[in-house]
């Protein structure tokens, strides 16, 4: 068969022309139509405005019976906004602390509202979404400090078992809190991390990434190594240490005592190897961890769940994972 001309869509998609399903490519094209790759060169305010419009365009209605209440939690002279999700008529067996994605730069309570609502409806658990501070106005450890403060508030305010959950940048925060709070009297009973960035790309010029996906999927649709470098740099405080586990949980020297963990990644995502490596280190330390790489998907596939059966199935499995973690008491 003759090679396609270089200006055809499939040729421009490279290896991913056949590694992703046509309906997922429709999703990728829709995302890029709203939030094109070159947007990272725009001012942060412009990036956030475009991202918020994209999130609104993809947002699904909350499932019937899910009620919400916004509130503020005071912590060290600042207020942290939360959104509380509760399924009407349910007797929740656990609560979920959810940290949204967005590269530590984008997102908030509205950007992942439907995802939190569906987790609440699918598990019957209470869900608390954290509106943590964003970079570059607030560099590390601001977002981590906010997530940890909300964990400590929730551990004191609720008698329910607590599951940590986060997506992308939020997966980093959820894991960092799990590490920091592993000896807390009310430590989390589980953590569910959705295509998290855990520090496997490292960023030090003398070291290479620790996972195969950083090489194989360096130019994947919707998230590239260049994107990761941008988000890592804009988040880092001056003199940031790559070995700080609150910045990069994979750089922790101790993986003992962590709660049972489920890590879900996408096959065509440079971050996928972080999940594999994280699982292996928890198991090596005597803990319980599962890593699942969802095939023929990329980073951010949760937003595709309404139109792509693979993404819908992956999200259904994630909800079941969270339900199992919350029931393990």
Bridge partners (DSSP) of residue 289 are 261
Euclidean distance between CA atoms 282 and 255, whole angstroms: 5
Q: In terms of C-beta density within 10 A (0-12 exposed, 13-18 middle, 19 or more buried), how is residue 2 classed? A: exposed
Euclidean distance between CA atoms 165 and 321, whole angstroms: 11
Euclidean distance between CA atoms 198 and 168, whole angstroms: 9
Say if residue 250 is preceded by a cis peptide, omega within 30 of 0. Answer: no
Catalytic residues: 168, 269, 299
Q: CA angle at residue 59 from 70 to 54, to 5 degrees?
A: 105
Cβ atoms 119, 125 nearer than 8 A:
yes
Cβ atoms 251, 243 nearer than 8 A:
yes
In this structure, how many other beta carbons lie within 10 angstroms of the beta carbon of residue 202? 18
């Amino acid at each position: 068969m003759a090679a396609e001309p270089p200006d055809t869509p499939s040729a421009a998609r490279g290896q991913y022309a056949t590694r992703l399903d046509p309906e997922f490519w429709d999703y990728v094209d829709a995302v890029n139509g709203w939030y094109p790759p070159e947007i990272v060169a725009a001012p942060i305010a412009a990036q956030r405005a475009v991202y918020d419009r994209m999130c609104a365009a993809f947002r699904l209605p909350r499932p019937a019976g899910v009620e919400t209440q916004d509130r503020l939690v005071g912590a060290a002279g600042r207020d942290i906004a939360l959104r509380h999700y509760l399924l009407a008529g349910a007797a929740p067996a656990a609560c979920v602390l959810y940290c949204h994605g967005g590269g530590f730069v984008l997102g908030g309570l509205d950007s992942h509202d439907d995802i939190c609502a569906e987790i609440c409806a699918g598990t019957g658990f209470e869900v608390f979404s954290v509106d943590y501070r964003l970079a570059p106005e607030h560099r590390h450890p601001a977002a981590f400090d906010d997530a940890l403060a909300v964990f400590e508030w929730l551990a004191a305010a609720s008698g329910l078992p607590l599951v940590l959950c986060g997506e992308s940048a939020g997966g980093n925060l959820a894991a960092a809190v799990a590490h920091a709070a592993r000896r807390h009297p009310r430590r989390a009973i589980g953590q569910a991390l959705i295509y998290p960035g855990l520090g496997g790309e490292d960023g030090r010029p003398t070291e290479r990434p620790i996972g195969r996906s950083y090489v194989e999927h360096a130019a994947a649709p919707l998230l590239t190594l260049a994107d990761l470098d941008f988000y890592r740099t804009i988040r880092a405080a001056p003199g940031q240490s790559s070995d700080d586990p609150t910045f990069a949980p994979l750089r922790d020297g101790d993986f003992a005592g962590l709660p049972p963990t489920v890590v879900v990644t996408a096959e065509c995502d440079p971050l996928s190897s972080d999940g594999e490596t994280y699982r292996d280190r928890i198991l090596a330390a005597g803990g319980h961890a599962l890593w699942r790489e969802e095939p023929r998907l990329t980073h951010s596939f949760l937003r595709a769940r309404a139109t792509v059966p693979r993404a819908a199935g992956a999200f259904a499995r994630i909800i079941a994972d969270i339900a199992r973690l919350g029931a393990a008491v």
